[in-house]
Amino acid sequence: MRTSLLILVLLLAHGPAALAAALLKTGDSFPAWTLTDQSGASVSSHDLAGKTYVLWFFPKAMTPGCTAEGRSFRDEAGAFEQKGVTILGVSFDTPADNAAFVKAEGFPFRLLSDQDHKLALAVGAADTPQAPVSHRVSFVVGPDGTVRQVYGTVNPANHAKDVLGDL
């Protein structure tokens, strides 16, 4: 009863955003996830266990800022590969929209669709289930599934270099 009352008070005072998770922090466990890539294949945190990966949440495929950010990762893909780090983009776009984005920009990495917004909500990359787009945030997840680095503020054109500098 007390929990229900607290939720009701939060919703009345702050709306649904009060229930969204805060942005994960360095050292937090990254939640388990399974998403669909641009070709329709499933990709999961289980598939990446034991590997370091970057999940960069971007608002919308084929928009100027997201294109600049994607290009920055594309242009540094070899350096990430040398460090053994997998690059994955995540948006609310459909797999078909992400496939068009990959094709147009020649991205050598997968773009994942979080159409139900569950992962974005769990990690703090979205405030509400109704959010039209995710926040532009990124996470470096270590081989043990913990967050190694959080980027809550991102300069799209330089983001990949910033991440590489921290690896």
CA Rg, the chain, in Å? Answer: 16
Which one of the listed residues 66, 111, 120, 141 is annotated catalytic?
66
What one-character DSSP code corresponds to residue 155?
A: -
Whose structure tokens read 């329709």?
40
What one-character DSSP code corresponds to residue 30?
A: P
The count of C-alpha atoms lying within 13 angstroms of the C-alpha of 162, restricted to the half-sphere facing its C-beta, is 17
Q: Is 50 a catalytic residue?
A: no
Are 88 and 56 spatial neighbours (Cβ–Cβ below 8 Å)?
yes
Give catalytic residues, as residue numbers: 66
